[in-house]
Structure 1
């Protein structure tokens, strides 16, 4: 069966030629205009020697140049390898080398970083976008010497379309290979079944497009129905609100940190200064219930929280308009996909658990990737008995709603008891003095791990004390769960998609705790904090250095 992800744009240009596809500052491209530019750039890639099946790396920010280059590579029959924009040159080189990319395509602004990243491999770099002085050759100039491709180069449905590199939280980043069918189906199901995206919608594109969430759920889903995508190069909450109001945005996709930031920016604004959102989608990490409730009330919208991974194209489950929402859950599996709970301690096979039991979330269906590029052993560990093992712990209730409890690697084991950070974070986020919080486990000589809350205050001039936050938590969650350690910071370290980098927090504070011994108490377990323990965390709040 022949199929190409490029057909998403080609069909939109055929059926909605005059609809605006992309708004990027002053640039407005209709679907017909965007498709014409893509076919021209694809011809330029062919002129440079790119052939079907070749891998072409792409470094581009959230501008019109990203969809132009992305779909040009696909139209030429090649495989897109989006590059994380915050990588160091040696990390870029790893992605280029591991993927076997034959060309690095970059927007003009990122050309210097692209050249440095490709230097070790002597990989040719070509740019897209308006000319800005000297630099690598422009794809537009090459394309100008040849005729545009008449149509897309069709591929097999099981051929690779995109290779997404994982964040590398547990070692060297791996390339998740996604097929044409994976990505066409995920965009289609998101549009027509999961999120009810419509042609008249205007979609906010502030999630990084090199990431699976922004790429599939925002860009490709919008193009699948002929909606308009408003691009923002770098998320900034006040500017995002202004952009949404200016362009009458109706759909917002974001990660929890974006929802927190938009809420903070909206507090002093009248309702007329806020966008009228028909649909709000949250993913990437667990959205605290307090944030969801406040956002829905302030913006007069419904937030549909979903769940997925790069390896699942990405959407696997989501709260869906036609099936109702349940705060605190990530909804039901999307159309055509199965999501179940399996024993996480059995590695060689999948043993499904009864309804309501806690285990590992496993997924199978049209969204599951082809495997890790050149990593057969890693693929065999991840896909067992036809199911993809997510590495996430969760439950499934009698109504079919999935709840993600935590990443298996983020679960804290304190004194033999499992503590799920998301549960502690949800309780702390209801404190009026907290704007953001991340809960991590730190090594402890007696308990194995200690629960630590890293907190950003709602009012930096009058932050809550550590003792106040400990007391708040002890009134709301079990005695083995509340944080004995509290760190106040000005901001949390975030990845490019807005996820909190808990691995960075663990690295940062593990050394500090081992040096200070703060939070070490001789009180029996479980039990309330001893006076000395509360004093230790309060003192630590004042005396330890806290970076953003």
Structure 2
């Protein structure tokens, strides 16, 4: 079998890496072929369920997924896609989004999911650096869907996407970035190994709830579990009620969620009466988890069913731990996971001793296998292959990692360094606080003052700023306590529950 292969546009791959990847591609099974094999093995098995905002659902069997992915692959080629082409997918979670992604892998193209609701100027900046062969968005979606319906569903010629996918960054701290993995879309079997198998065996196939948007890494990566034979239950849009309904109806076995999602689930009035018995495990990622919320999930499930993971889209490496480990090392995000090495460096490059704060550097087998489109510099690297995303933290004597925050988010106030995540974690436990974001605002006395933006649980009767500040004083060093407090009806978060700190600072005068 001959598989088409291309390294076009991947400037971060040296000759040795290119030769190694090419050899893998020539002997491996493409993602498209893997889907075909899964469909042959279990044609009537449900591979995908997409749950609409109104609760209606669409089910697709593995044979339907394979056939329609072939149709979408051909439609993309007709629209201009080639092996190695970037294909922008700027539509919400939907059957079309999944099929278009699978169609990219069938055609050997590179899917780049993108937020569909970006302001025009930001969308245009990203499109300028991606230079996609095809853009699937609100304007082209209907035409592309009709084109796909008119295509043959027979198997396509095998092709390998030179990159599994790209992920867009909004560029909130500088140039817009598109992070492209340099791993080719070759099925190795490792892509479908459940996180929990690091600790215990996991019965498969799994039924995986996808509560967040596929334009985020945690959402898009679940498509590789679909290829492994697991069933995906994708929410068109996250809501706590919708997620709980899906868990019960489809007997969901696992999911990945952000702390904000988990807080909204835990705050549901009937959460203690809901049936979570099918859930074998869940992963928390994307942000630090407040201890009170974490302990609440230990009650809803058990410590052994809760996994916390720390990583980044650039795939520099991973740290992870299970809830029972966290109880022995409270506040940690884990130890090196799947051959990841972790070390802490001082600004002068020397290694920090146990317990001393410094820059977090990671090294893993896949470290460095990424590039940025758009001209952004790669993340700093040491001569021996360790890389940092700019996060700050320390290691304890047992090798467990603790994160303070991103250095880029650090607030320098009166000459002292304050990490927003620490202040947010302290304020989140206040019984009248539903959500909080801490930012640094210009101040004539302090340079930057610590400012807390709070979404109260009861918008009609928020706590006073004095109450919030007094609460913070009981939990934080004086220089970390917010000097000003602001109440809003809702914290502006994306569908992935992320917040744009730079934008919040800008609208408040910088």
Q: TM-score, normalised by structure 2?
A: 0.84
* 1:343-397 per-position Cα deviation (integer Å, ceiling 9, x unaligned): 3x35xxx544333221112222234353434566612x54443232211111122
Residue 237, structure 1, aligned to residue 240, structure 2:
yes
Unaligned runs of 5+ in 1: 113-124, 512-548
**In structure 2, distance between residues paired with 1:161 and 1:71:** 11
**What residue number does 1:143 align with?**
151
Look up the SS of the partner of 2:267 in the other structure.
Answer: helix
Using the TM superposition, give the Cα deviation of residue 197 of structure 1 relative to its aligned residue in structure 2, in angstroms: 5.5
Using the TM superposition, give the Cα deviation of residue 494 of structure 1 relative to its aligned residue in structure 2, in angstroms: 0.6
Look up the SS of the partner of 1:138 in the other structure.
Answer: helix
Cα pair 2:164 2:182 within 8 Å, conserved = yes
**In structure 2, distance between residues paired with 1:294 and 1:429:** 13
**In structure 2, distance between residues paired with 1:353 and 1:412:** 22
Look up the SS of the partner of 1:312 in the other structure.
Answer: coil
Q: Judging changes above 3 Å, is the alpha-carbon distance between structure 1 residues 263 and 137 closer, same or farther for their aligned structure 2 residues?
A: closer
* 1:425-454 per-position Cα deviation (integer Å, ceiling 9, x unaligned): 222222222222222222222222211221
**What residue number does 1:208 align with?**
213
**What residue number does 1:462 align with?**
461
Q: 2:311 aligns with which of 308, 311, 322?
A: 308
**What residue number does 1:296 align with?**
298
**In structure 2, distance between residues paired with 1:184 and 1:434:** 45
Cα pair 2:306 2:322 within 8 Å, conserved = no
**In structure 2, distance between residues paired with 1:388 and 1:73:** 30
* 1:123-151 per-position Cα deviation (integer Å, ceiling 9, x unaligned): xx4x3xxx6xxx5673314524xx63345
Q: 1:286 aligns with which of 273, 285, 288?
A: 288
Using the TM superposition, give the Cα deviation of residue 32 of structure 1 relative to its aligned residue in structure 2, in angstroms: 2.6
Q: 2:167 aligns with which of 159, 164, 168?
A: 164
**What residue number does 1:21 align with?**
47
**Farther-moved stretch of structure 1 (162-171 vs 368-377):** 368-377
**What residue number does 2:342 align with?**
339
Using the TM superposition, give the Cα deviation of residue 225 of structure 1 relative to its aligned residue in structure 2, in angstroms: 3.6
**In structure 2, distance between residues paired with 1:351 and 1:190:** 36
Q: Judging changes above 3 Å, is the alpha-carbon distance between structure 1 residues 142 and 478 closer, same or farther for their aligned structure 2 residues?
A: same
**In structure 1, distance between residues paired with 2:164 and 2:272:** 45
**In structure 2, distance between residues paired with 1:279 and 1:477:** 33
* 1:106-133 per-position Cα deviation (integer Å, ceiling 9, x unaligned): 4xxxx23xxxxxxxxxxxx4x3xxx6xx
Look up the SS of the partner of 2:298 in the other structure.
Answer: helix
Using the TM superposition, give the Cα deviation of residue 234 of structure 1 relative to its aligned residue in structure 2, in angstroms: 0.9
Cα pair 2:105 2:160 within 8 Å, conserved = no
**In structure 1, distance between residues paired with 2:35 and 2:87:** 19
**What residue number does 1:495 align with?**
494
Look up the SS of the partner of 2:387 in the other structure.
Answer: strand
**What residue number does 2:68 align with?**
37
* 1:228-281 per-position Cα deviation (integer Å, ceiling 9, x unaligned): 11111111111221122111112121111111111222x345524556422121
**What residue number does 1:363 align with?**
362
Look up the SS of the partner of 2:439 in the other structure.
Answer: strand
Cα pair 1:62 1:206 within 8 Å, conserved = no
Look up the SS of the partner of 2:449 in the other structure.
Answer: strand
**What residue number does 1:76 align with?**
107
Unaligned runs of 5+ in 2: 1-23, 52-56
Give the number of aligned pairs: 474
**What residue number does 2:4 align with?**
none
Cα pair 1:83 1:95 within 8 Å, conserved = no
Paired residues for 1:364-443 under 5 Å: 364-374=363-373, 378-379=377-378, 381-385=379-383, 386-443=385-442
Cα pair 1:47 1:142 within 8 Å, conserved = no
**What residue number does 1:56 align with?**
87
* 1:307-363 per-position Cα deviation (integer Å, ceiling 9, x unaligned): 1222118x62222489776442221222132232223x35xxx54433322111222
Query: Pairwise CA RMSD of aligned residues?
Result: 2.9
Look up the SS of the partner of 2:81 in the other structure.
Answer: coil
Q: Judging changes above 3 Å, is the alpha-carbon distance between structure 1 residues 378 and 295 closer, same or farther for their aligned structure 2 residues?
A: same
Residue 9, structure 1, aligned to residue 44, structure 2:
no
Cα pair 1:183 1:367 within 8 Å, conserved = no
Cα pair 1:20 1:228 within 8 Å, conserved = yes
Look up the SS of the partner of 2:479 in the other structure.
Answer: coil
Q: Judging changes above 3 Å, is the alpha-carbon distance between structure 1 residues 417 and 77 closer, same or farther for their aligned structure 2 residues?
A: same
**Farther-moved stretch of structure 1 (420-429 vs 5-14):** 5-14
**In structure 1, distance between residues paired with 2:364 and 2:306:** 25
Cα pair 1:415 1:449 within 8 Å, conserved = yes
Using the TM superposition, give the Cα deviation of residue 407 of structure 1 relative to its aligned residue in structure 2, in angstroms: 0.8
**In structure 1, distance between residues paired with 2:184 and 2:144:** 34
**In structure 2, distance between residues paired with 1:443 and 1:50:** 48
* 1:379-424 per-position Cα deviation (integer Å, ceiling 9, x unaligned): 2x54443232211111122222222210101112222222222222
Look up the SS of the partner of 1:92 in the other structure.
Answer: helix
**In structure 2, distance between residues paired with 1:142 and 1:194:** 45
**Farther-moved stretch of structure 1 (368-377 vs 243-252):** 368-377
Q: Judging changes above 3 Å, is the alpha-carbon distance between structure 1 residues 172 and 23 closer, same or farther for their aligned structure 2 residues?
A: same
Look up the SS of the partner of 2:148 in the other structure.
Answer: helix
Cα pair 1:86 1:496 within 8 Å, conserved = no
